[in-house]
Chain A
Amino acid sequence: MTMSAGDTLTQDHAPVEDVGAHKGIEGRSLGQIAWFRLKHDKIAMLSMFMIILILLLAILAPLITKVLGVDPTTFYRAAVDPDKGFLPKGGPLGSGISGDHLLGVEPGTGRDTLARLLYGARISLLIALSATVVSVVIGTILGALAGYLGGKMDAFISRLMDLLLAFPQLILLIAMTPVFVTLLDQLGVPGTPGRVLYLIVFIGFFGWPYFGRIIRGQVLSLREREFVEAARSLGAGTGHVLFRQLLPNLWASILVFSSLIIPTYIGTEAALSFLGVGVVPPTPTWGNMLGDSVRYARVDPLYLFIPGLALFTVVLFFNLFGDALRDVLDPRGSR
């Protein structure tokens, strides 16, 4: 699918785009080619649109909730029934959906589900995106250093990656939580900010070796190329070669890896919060909403399905986009 789109593009687009200021054949950068292909992939464009929409919803959450007149932490006592164990009043499937609370309210407390969903998206996306940055930065720097310098440095970094990959990530992330949350608390980062920081740093940290290996492999072959030799013969230092010569050639991998790892990290954060060891209430995340909803599945199933479907949708669109991006940027990648 993508392949045929790409093929037609190279034939169709060159004349159209190059009419005007530039005449004749003009070279296009990898970025331009990729963008042309991407623009003609309907699924990619749809998922990109949805991702931007979701990001906007998350960023604008305070504004949206203000307009709707709800708040993620207020207990709307009027929306729950104290005679029936504080379950939501009315609405389909006992969800408490009404004009005031568009997605119903949380059983037990009466907090607005939509407001919690929007604010939850902020935390979940903040953690996933920041952790991705952590993985990518460490993975790129160490992977490139290992590949470029070779020798003892390569041996050391490669062993380090092997070692980290031997650790059971999820188990360790869960097990380390109380230890590090206590530590951050003593260092003056208490409560939710501490937990968010912990998740960003450690989800990101355990992910970098996967990417470091990819980058190392690419740098290994890139460093033998003429342009690197040319730069070095002109007296360029390691820093210049790594960041000015090699990095521009690694952008495709960095983008593809990032877009595929973001949905994984969204899932990891959700799983940890679901288990009650990530971000804890009253701060909402999709994971802890789901974890909380289990008790009410029998009487208020929508409270389980709403955050679950939100999570599924976001991860699906990120996956679709990442897949399309890989097809476009990595011609050798599996189709």
Chain B
Amino acid sequence: MFRYIIRRLIGVLILMVVISFITFLLFFAIPSNPAALSCGKGCTPTVIKATEHKMGIDEPILVQYGKYMKGLVTGRTFGEGTAVNKCPAPCLGFSFKTDQPVLGMITDAFPITLSISIGAFVLWIFFGISTGVISALKKGTIIDRVTMFVTLATVSLPSFFTGLMLLYFIVIKYGLMTFPSYVGFLDNPYDWAKNLLLPWITLAFLFAALYTRLTRANMLETMGEDYIRTARAKGLSERKVIFKHGLRAALTPIVTIAGLDLGGLLGGAVITESVFNFNGLGRLVVRSSTDLDLPVLVGVTVLAAFFIVMLNFLVDLLYAAIDPRVRLV
């Protein structure tokens, strides 16, 4: 077990180096002229040259990547003479647009993304799995058919449309709530939850339907297994058969998907954040994208990939804990 974890963590590290290298190349090797963009009209080649030097993009690409990685571990300084900008480790550079440290921008935005993702995650797991189980146990009945149709319709609703409809009906038309704006959890837990309710519902809406369908399919398959028949035959109560033998096996594949979905969201719940104007990582990317703010884009992309890779790893560990057939070697 311990050896497995160490080996996997080394794998994660190597994968992250590869990912950061590719991401860095994608953004910095292709000439997109961020310096020209940032200096606007009336720009002279000398100013562009100076800006490029300040941004550190006038050097060969491999040197730039080397400095970037070194900055990540030991920190680095930008500029010379009086205009020295110190960037302590782990340094992700400075924003081209605002000159703020990228790390700070990310740590400001992350709690918002985390709040949206975690809350929605709890909602969709709860509703998705419970409706999926009910649907499977009532297979073929009107409840099952309605659930299946509703979930298919829900899956087809783009989440920005769901969010906009919620905003329109709840906030604009009937005035049941004020327009949500993020409040920190530590500042006021009640306001935090109240303001996050609509984003949570928007995000959970899409995923819950997927999980209902998935749970139902898995549950139906499991309930047809021989060991379920055996469990019934030895006289276990139906409740025990369903929850202890059926659901447990049906949920194992869902753990994998849930981990990946959550990992994907932690890097930025882009659409939900944009619809509700929450300044999480997703919106940071959207804004930085139009500004060609390359250091921010690289930082968020690599961080988002890190969440996906880490969650993947955690899921494998969790898998071993849930499924006794899995042995980690």
Interface residues of A (CB under 8 A from B): 163, 165-172, 174-180, 182-183, 186, 263, 267, 270-271, 274-277, 290, 293-294, 297-298, 301, 304, 308, 311-312, 315-316, 319-320, 323, 334-335
Shortest C-beta distance, A230 to chain B (Å), equals: 35
- In the complex, whether B141 has a CB less than 8 A from a CB of chain A is no
Contacts of B173 in A (CB 8 A): 301
Residue ID in chain A nearest B29 by CB atoms? A179
Contacting residues, chain B, for A271 (C-beta < 8 A) = 158-160, 270-271
The verdict on A179 contacting B26 (CB below 8 Å), with A271-B271, A297-B168 known, is: yes
Please state if B164 and A334 are interface contacts (CB–CB under 8 Å). no
Given contacts A290-B161, A319-B155, contact A170 B270 (CB under 8 A): yes
B32: CB under 8 A from chain A?
Answer: yes
A290 to B160, CA, bound (A): 9
Contact (Cβ within 8 A) A277 B309: no
Q: Given A168-B304, A297-B168, check contact A175 B289 (CB 8 Å).
A: yes
Q: Bound complex: CA of A183 vs CA of B153, how far in Å? A: 39
Separation in Å of the A300 CB from the closest CB of chain B?
11
The A-contacting residues of B in range 286-326, CB under 8 angstroms, are 286, 288-290, 292, 294, 297, 300-301, 304-305, 307-309, 312
Contact across chains for A183 and B164 when beta carbons are under 8 A apart: no
Would A167 and B19 be within 8 Å (CB), given that A178-B292, A179-B30, A183-B30 are in contact?
Answer: yes
B168 / chain A contacts, CB cutoff of 8 Å: 297, 301, 304
20 further A-B pairs in the complex, CB-CB below 8 A; given A275-B271, A316-B153: A163-B15, A166-B19, A167-B19, A168-B304, A168-B307, A175-B289, A175-B297, A178-B289, A179-B26, A179-B30, A179-B292, A186-B31, A267-B158, A271-B158, A274-B160, A290-B161, A294-B164, A308-B165, A311-B161, A312-B158
Q: Please list 7 pairs of residues, one from A and one from B, whose beta carbons are closer than 8 Å in the complex, sorted by A's number.
A: A163-B22, A172-B23, A271-B271, A301-B173, A311-B161, A312-B153, A334-B217
Q: Assess the B156–A174 pair: CB atoms within 8 A.
A: no
Q: Top 9 nearest A-B pairs by Cβ distance?
A: A334-B217, A168-B304, A316-B156, A315-B156, A175-B297, A308-B161, A168-B267, A179-B32, A182-B32
A127 to B31, CA, bound (A): 26
With A180-B30, A182-B32, A304-B168 known to touch, is A174 a contact of B157 (CB < 8 Å)? no
Q: Which chain B residues lie closer than 8 Å to A294 at the CB level?
A: 164, 275
A172 CB contacts on chain B under 8 angstroms: 23, 26, 301
Decide yes or no whether B285 CB sits under 8 A from chain A. Answer: yes
Query: In chain B between 270 and 285, which residues have their CB closer than 8 angstroms to a CB of chain A?
Result: 270-271, 274-275, 281-282, 285
* Contact residues in A for B282 (Cβ distance below 8 Å): 171
Contact A276 B160, CB 8 Å, known A163-B19, A319-B155: no
Interface pair B305/A167, CB less than 8 Å apart: yes
Q: Chain A residues with Cβ under 8 A from B289's Cβ? A: 174-175, 177-178, 277
Give B183-224 as 1s and 0s: 1 = Cβ < 8 Å from A's Cβ atoms: 000000000000000000000000000000000011011000
> Would A316 and B152 be within 8 Å (CB), given that A167-B305, A174-B270 are in contact?
yes
Kindly state the separation between the CA atoms of A294 and B220 in the bound complex, as whole angstroms: 42
Residue of A nearest to B155 (CB): A319
CA gap between A270 and B300 in the complex, in Å: 22
Task: Map CB proximity to A onto B27-65 as digits: 1 under 8 Å, 0 otherwise.
Answer: 100111100000000000000000000000000000000
Q: From residue A280, how far is it (CB to closest CB) to chain B in Å? A: 10
Residue among A168, A267, A275, A312 with most chain B CB within 10 A = A168
Q: Is the pair A175, B15 in contact by a Cβ cutoff of 8 Å?
A: no
Given A172-B301, A270-B158, do A163 and B18 touch, yes or no (CB 8 Å)?
yes
Contact with A along B138-160 (1 / 0, CB 8 A): 00000000000000110111111
Contact B160 A179 (CB under 8 A): no
B164–A178 CB distance below 8 A: no
Q: Is the CB of B268 within 8 A of A168?
A: yes
Q: A174, B158: Cβ atoms under 8 Å?
A: no
Name A309's closest neighbour in chain B (CB-CB): B161
Whether A175 contacts B221 by the Cβ 8 Å rule is no
Residue of A nearest to B264 (CB): A168
- Closest chain-B Cβ to A333's Cβ sits at a distance in Å of 9
Choose among A175, A179, A315 the residue with the greatest number of B CB atoms under 10 Å from its CB: A175
- Asked whether any CB of chain A lies closer than 8 Å to the CB of B87, the reply is no
Known: A178-B292, A263-B156. A312 touches B161 (CB 8 A): yes
Residues from chain B with a CB closer than 8 A to the CB of A334 are 217-218, 220-221
Q: Measured between alpha carbons, how far is A41 from B309 in the docked complex, in Å?
A: 41
Asked whether, in the complex, the Cβ of B26 is within 8 Å of the Cβ of A171, the reply is no
A334 to B33, CA, bound (A): 50
- Tell whether, in the assembled complex, residue A166 and residue B309 are in contact, meaning their CB atoms are under 8 Å apart: yes
* Nearest chain A residue, comparing its CB with the CB of B270: A170
Decide: A335 and B217 in contact? CB cutoff 8 A. Answer: yes
Name the residue of chain B whose CB is nearest to the CB of A308: B161
| Residues of A with C-beta under 8 A to B264 | 168-169
